[in-house]
Amino acid sequence: MEIKGTTALVTGGASGLGAATARELTRRGAKVAILDLSYDKGEALASEIDGLYINADVSSESEVAAAVDRVVAELGAARIAVNCAGIGPAARVVGREGELSIDLFRRTIAVNLTGTYNVISHAARAMRELEPTATDERGVVVSTASIAWQDGQYGQAAYAASKGGIASMMLPIAREFARSGIRCAAIAPGLFHTPMMEGLPDDVTEKIVSQVPFPARLGAPEEFGTMVAQIVENPYLNGTTVRLDGAARLPPR
């Protein structure tokens, strides 16, 4: 599907992978709406790309519904929806003193998995009302899994489960939306240069980079944004999860 002239919604678009995606889609001619809880960064980026910032929590169905309605009213229904909002806490299932992490598990699933499902649901409902393009498409939804979906490390049970859920629902959702001309796919990024990585000590960063065969470096957020655009533009890419990781495989710890 051609990006130029479309409306795009990017959740988690105020920083990191989401911000890079918002910039790339804008560069390719889309009008971008950013949905994020970081007000200052969201407003600043929206001003930079001449887009729209909406403060909303993806885990709240009512806030997502209101956000999608606002996008439709101000920019027109989004043909492109990109799910980048997420959290990545780490905790043992049972801690050293026997403490449990069930509340953290619920929160991680609520934001990463249910939040993605909320956005897919409301964005696709709006897409179904659009006229099909020349390639018979009404829209494309790209979600963010993680290589932890397959290589989850010690302490990542909640995170891996949430990202595995995203990867697992791509095919059934793509099958359901096929009759409406809406494609659905996910990217499973590996070790990327994001704000979370920037706070790590140099020796820790070096150890992480040593796990990436080639190119032997952290991924650039811009490369994630390019992958989003390539999925949107390739009409035969549907119902799958693409690893973007430089051939990295995470060790147990």
Residues labelled as active-site residues: 159
Terminal C-alpha separation, the chain: 40
The letter for the amino acid at 37 is L
**Cα–Cα distance between 89 and 3 in angstroms, integer?**
34
Q: What is the DSSP string of 238-250?
A: -S-EEEESTT---
Angle, helices 170-177 vs 157-168, to 10°: value is: 30
d(CA 228, CA 80): 10
C-beta separation of 8 from 32 below 8 A? yes
